[in-house]
Amino acid sequence: MEPSFWHQKWDLQQIGFHQPQVNDFLVKYWSSLALSSTEEVFVPLCGKSLDMCFLAEQGHNVLGCELNQIAVQDFFKDNQLPVSHRLQGEHQFYSTEQITLIQGDIFTLPKSECQHISAFYDRAALIAWPESMRQQYADKLAELIPTGVKGLLVTLDYDQAALNGPPFAVSPAWIEQYLASYFEVELLECADVLADNPRFVNKQVPWLNEAAYLLTRKG
């Protein structure tokens, strides 16, 4: 997916991938990471997700990275949050009290920006990439995440032949093949969520599984 694809989606407000509520698996399983409330959480490809508000409400400082400027600005506007702005290299930093969003390409984000994080949360990033580009993202995520840091990964899996992504199908086999070399992987839950997703039902997708994984960065 070229950057222009995502910029066009936000320009046209074709953002069906944006969820109007906090993810259920995040609410259910975030405590399994056993973090103190003050630790910093990294959210790659964060969009304007309300999940970041949930994380901040748990006491965390949130560091998000998002390609599109409209998404970043809308997050602060929609949540009526005051924001400061600074430019650092090719990335723009938008900050409020507990949340900083870095606007720019995650693939050029310096590793140093994530050196203080204690956890990460990926609901929309891994599934945003077609399989041909997903390994590149997995490699970058592993580069950014310090050793020992835990994260919650939420994926979708379905018959990719029945519907073009995004979101793209990510199978348990893909997780095992491409992420297990970087992370300890524990499946927390896998649930059939087809009935809750009318787009997939209307496209006659036969099944849709949402899974939550606990990841721990290996040394």
Please give the pLDDT value at position 8.
Answer: 72
Please give the pLDDT value at position 116.
Answer: 96
Q: Dump pLDDT digits (tens) for 161-173.
A: 999 889 999 999 9
Please give the pLDDT value at position 70.
Answer: 94
Please give the pLDDT value at position 20.
Answer: 81
Please give the pLDDT value at position 13.
Answer: 66
| Residues in the chain with pLDDT values less than 50 | none
Determine whether domain 1-12+38-117 maps to CATH 3.40.190.10.
no
3-state secondary structure the chain: CCHHHHHHHHHCCCCCCCCCCCCHHHHHHHHHHCCCCCCEEEEECCCCCCHHHHHHHCCCEEEEEECCHHHHHHHHHHCCCCCEEEEECCEEEEECCCEEEEECCHHHCCHHHHCCCCEEEECCCHHHCCHHHHHHHHHHHHHHCCCCCEEEEEEEEECHHHCCCCCCCCCHHHHHHHHCCCEEEEEEEEEECHHHCHHHHHCCCCCEEEEEEEEEECC
